[in-house]
Amino acid sequence: MSTNTEVQDKLLAFLRERTGQEWTVDRDLFAEGGLSSLFAMELVVQLESTFDIEVAGPDLQLANFRTVTAMSELVARLRLETDD
């Protein structure tokens, strides 16, 4: 299982590759980065395939995808729910 730091590192690498920009864990991807809601759906697919989780229902809200920190917290929470 990946640690929170490993999850963040993988997300930062994905963002750098897809956008050509450097990101920090607390940078708002949509306010500062100008990314679209379509990109948010791409992030959902990336999280699900990379971290073997399912993002559905109430978890499909933009707040969960605004920052790398928020996404890594979502991954950690969904993994805990899966383990229960």
| pLDDT on residue 81 | 86
Rounded Cα distance, 77 and 12, in Å = 19
List, as one string, the DSSP characters of the chain: ---HHHHHHHHHHHHHHHHSS---TTS-TTTTS---HHHHHHHHHHHHHHHT----GGG-SGGGGSSHHHHHHHHHHHHHHHH-
Fold of the CATH domain 4-83: 1.10.1200
The ranges assigned to domains in the chain are 4-83
User: Residue with structure tokens 């930062």?
Assistant: 12
pLDDT digits (tens, 9 = 90+) for 25-84: 999 998 876 788 788 899 999 999 999 999 999 999 989 999 999 999 999 999 998 776
